[in-house]
Structure 1
Amino acid sequence: MSDTDRGFSSNEGGNEDTPLLTSDMGSRSRGASFASSVFNLMNAIMGSGILGLAYAMANTGVVGFCLLLVLVSALAAYSVHLLLKLCDQTGINSYESLGERALHKPGKVLVGCAILIQNIGAMSSYLFILKSELPAAINGFLNAENTGTAWYEDGRILLIIITLGVVLPLAILPRVGFLGYTSGLAFLFMLYFTVVVVMKKWTVPCPLPNNITFLSRACQVSNSSDSECTAKLFVLSSESVYAIPTMAFSFLCHTAVLPIYCELDRPSKARMQRVTNIGIGLSFTLYLISALFGYLTFYAHVDSELLQGYDVYLPRDILVMTVRLAILVSVLFTVPLIHFPARKAAILLLFGARPFSWFIHCLITVSILSVVLILAIFVPDIRNVFGVVGSTTSSCLLFVFPSLFYLRISRQHLRSLDYVGAALLVVFGLAVGALSLTVIILTWVRSS
């Protein structure tokens, strides 16, 4: 059987305008517009990560954070380029199938497990935000004090209701293209969040009020001084190790890239690369602005979940209440999109490439959401999700797997730019993941 018959492109280097070929996984769906694909990709990128980046800036400094953010976003775009190039060369439109082509059955299992763990971690972090923020949002709009006695003040009850009433119906949809409209709305809410963070920079006083104990640090700010109102350019501490995993977690969209590519109208590598560049570029801009002004609002006292800081210093603030609601809706719409590749990976791992079955589809959907719901209820700190998932599966899916698969599958010359870049990306991903996870574990052991 010839390479062409097996789904390989006739151009070994990969033609930028070659349309996506049909893989052995079956025919792909079409029809999602360019704008809808950009919004879907941005919705896959942006989520709970935007709330943790100000904390990352506080522990790396403004210049250090900017350098790391540029590095991670550029490497994310480059690794997507490698994935799309492999799709163009092989006609394979599944991340798991690329793993199987590169490393045979172990590769498929490895990628499927990584996708499943990563997306379960991501969805857990999103539902964690709903659990922690939704009761405060309801109390704010009802103008009521949080006594803990009303049912709507229990984040766990609200989380179960929201999951069954909103997340499950959206997650059970068979195609990711259906979520384009909700993704566009989620992007607008993220944009609104960024605008409000910028505006509130001049509302919270600095030094911080003397009679308030900050939530996450549990430290008295009565010693606040003018020196604490100066942004630090570089910071290095034990908390700095969370920065790159949080950024990797925040830019990981690779599990959604190929499903979005499959449903893109008139799909080609060049067209999907433009979708990726625009999506990552806009996400980078919103990340940087919100992190910078969030940090310049609270400086060293920024919380690991940015919105919690505003609860202390701006209670009952109308803009803060509306932006909290906007973030909750945005996160709510992101969960079904992240669920799509998780369900796909679970079905491939458990049942292989078989015809679509509504029974299996619904069974896996409910099973995954049940696991995510349990984790969201019992996870104590969202920073732990960012750190552990970001340093393990995020690093693998973002850096290691795309470049490793390219080295194994591509027929590029050993001295070609992409081949060398892929080799360096493997080393970088393994080093960053191992170092981050080691330091995080040591930090936990020392603090305990």
Structure 2
Amino acid sequence: MSVNGNRNTVLYESITGDSGGNETTHLLSNGSTPTRGRGASFAFSVFNLMNAIMGSGILGLSYAMACTGIVGFIILLILVSSLATYSIHLLLKLCDKTGINSYEDLGGRALRNPGKVLVGVTILIQNVGAMASYLFILKSELPAAIRSFISSDSTGNAWYDNGRLLLILITLCVVLPLSILPKIGFLGYTSSFAFFFMLYFAVVVVVKKWSIPCPLPHNVTSLSGTFQVSNSSDSECTPKLFVISSESAYAIPTMAFSFLCHTTVLPIYCELDRPSKAKMQNVVTVSISLSFLLYLISALFGYLTFYAHVNSELLLSYDVYISGDIMVMTVRLFVLLAVLLTVPLIHFPARKAVIMLLSGQRPFSWLTHIIATLTILGVVLILAVFVPDIRNVFGVVGSTTSSCLLFVFPGIFYLRISSEPLRSPDSIGAVLLMVFGIIMGLISFSIIVITWVQSS
């Protein structure tokens, strides 16, 4: 992007072809909206970016802490969040330098047309996979979450027990209206709700730390409310500072994917009110810092509740020991709603990639906009409704696309586009970022394939 003065004028000319620097023309290079108008506020931009960062991955961080220890987890979380922030810094610096405000166009600038196509396809695969996985989670978990609030004497043939029907209804009534909005800034309202849902999740995890005894009960009889305490010693209630095991390899991919928001950073930047690199960098810093805080609190207190017995999905651990707890039932519903509200946000860059790949730099068209929206949502809905288990398939693909978008592409693009010498701090950082991304992608891919084969 750009900052002020002449560079701001150059940016508008390069994006819009308007030598007069007409600020009513929208900043997005693919013409995603007809007019620029007033941009999104700082707060809404933070909410949108946080919503892109935080998803169902927060449920697995307590398990990641159990696999690495408290200190090991904190070190890795700081490392991954810092690298994610730095990779976004490189993207914003390239936008400021070149006037390009699109991840796909940065790929085109660095690697010509094949690079543009590669980035667009990568974004499309990653985001379609994420949307399909989120909708698959909703199809599987939402009926049970709703049923937990209904009296036990109700029959099992209610409409809300049909996960496919429920998914189709919420897609048509919630996801489609939000996805068809022309500007990502409008989603700041729903993203604010998603943030408070995740905040409530963290609060519940902290409160429930004192509701479950340690050592953990062995045989739980939830109907009578009685527990048979196991013979485990109090040593199980001692937190581990460092843990190194075969399970520790799962921690870094879990944390890295928990900070993936790079496909939405530039669209949010484009719609920011009076955009500048410094202002967007502040949005990124605040968003990642708040996400880091919520991640750390929920992971720490979830781990201190169950220790080595924590489930890979945290909420399932509560079901074993305090089944029917109203706060846990509520937080499960809120997490699912937060996941639901994330789908329109990650749909935006997927649609943007499709339109850019097929239409290039053509002016905004409502017809193209609507057709692309309906097509992408249709494909995602079909995958979520009819494919029995898509999470493993997209897990394998996502392990590579996520690593590329998070670490590899920003490093390569900076080295190809920037004119700085290779010994400059940012160039060295770009090399390290690229190497880290390749290693993490290989580790993630290997772990998921091995787990997939073993489960089969």
Equivalent position to 1:323, from 311, 331, 334? 331
Q: Could you tell me which residue of structure 2 aligns to residue 4 of structure 1? A: none
Equivalent position to 2:250, from 221, 228, 242? 242
Q: Which runs of 5+ in 1 are unaligned?
A: 1-6, 214-220
AA in 1 matched with 2:134: Y
Residues 1:393 and 2:401 are matched in the alignment: yes
AA in 2 matched with 1:431: I
Equivalent position to 2:308, from 300, 314, 319? 300
Q: Could you tell me which residue of structure 2 aligns to residue 352 of structure 1? A: 360
Q: Could you tell me which residue of structure 2 aligns to residue 368 of structure 1? A: 376
Q: Could you tell me which residue of structure 2 aligns to residue 340 of structure 1? A: 348
AA in 1 matched with 2:68: T
Q: Could you tell me which residue of structure 1 aligns to residue 56 of structure 2? A: 48
Q: Could you tell me which residue of structure 2 aligns to residue 143 of structure 1? A: 151
Residues 1:444 and 2:452 are matched in the alignment: yes
Matches within 5 A, 1:44-443: 44-144=52-152, 148-212=156-220, 224-377=232-385, 378=387, 380=389, 384=392, 387-388=395-396, 391-443=399-451
Residues paired across the two proteins, number: 430
Distance 1:147 1:428, change over 3 A: farther
Instruction: Please give the root-mean-square deviation of Cα atoms over the aligned residues, in Å.
Output: 2.6
Contact 1:54 1:302 in 2 (8 A): yes
Contact 1:245 1:394 in 2 (8 A): no
Distance 2:443 2:368 in 1: 39
AA in 1 matched with 2:306: F
Q: Could you tell me which residue of structure 2 aligns to residue 216 of structure 1? A: none
Contact 2:62 2:300 in 1 (8 A): yes
Task: Give a deviation string over 1:42-91, Cα, whole Å, max 9, x none.
Answer: 11111111112122222222222211111110000000000000000000
Contact 2:215 2:230 in 1 (8 A): no
Q: Could you tell me which residue of structure 2 aligns to residue 39 of structure 1? A: 47
Q: Which runs of 5+ in 2 are unaligned?
A: 17-25, 28-35, 222-228
AA in 2 matched with 1:289: I
Distance 2:6 2:426 in 1: 18
Identity of counterpart residues, as a percentage? 72
Q: Could you tell me which residue of structure 1 aligns to residue 12 of structure 2? A: 22
What secondary structure, in the 3-state scheme, does the structure 2 residue paired with 1:228 have?
Answer: helix
What secondary structure, in the 3-state scheme, does the structure 1 residue paired with 2:148 have?
Answer: helix
Q: Could you tell me which residue of structure 2 aligns to residue 3 of structure 1? A: none
Distance 1:52 1:22, change over 3 A: farther
Name the stretch that deviates more: 16-25 or 204-213. Answer: 16-25
Distance 1:304 1:338 in 2: 24
Distance 1:381 1:22 in 2: 42
What secondary structure, in the 3-state scheme, does the structure 1 residue paired with 2:217 have?
Answer: coil
Contact 2:4 2:276 in 1 (8 A): no
Distance 1:439 1:230, change over 3 A: same
Shift of 1:149: 3.4
Shift of 1:330: 1.6
Distance 1:23 1:104 in 2: 21
Distance 1:17 1:330 in 2: 41
Distance 1:36 1:414, change over 3 A: same
Distance 1:117 1:381, change over 3 A: closer
Contact 2:408 2:433 in 1 (8 A): yes
Name the stretch that deviates more: 173-182 or 56-65. Answer: 56-65
Shift of 1:195: 0.5
Task: Give a deviation string over 1:80-116, Cα, whole Å, max 9, x none.
Answer: 0000000000000000000000000111111111111
Distance 1:144 1:422, change over 3 A: same
Distance 2:331 2:132 in 1: 21
Distance 2:243 2:303 in 1: 13
Distance 1:285 1:129, change over 3 A: same
Contact 1:51 1:306 in 2 (8 A): yes
What secondary structure, in the 3-state scheme, does the structure 2 residue paired with 1:22 have?
Answer: helix
Name the stretch that deviates more: 238-247 or 20-29. Answer: 20-29
Contact 1:139 1:145 in 2 (8 A): no
Distance 1:302 1:156, change over 3 A: farther
Distance 1:341 1:57 in 2: 31
Shift of 1:268: 0.6
Distance 1:156 1:239, change over 3 A: farther
Distance 1:357 1:145, change over 3 A: farther
Distance 1:297 1:380, change over 3 A: farther
AA in 1 matched with 2:281: Q
Distance 1:397 1:174 in 2: 24
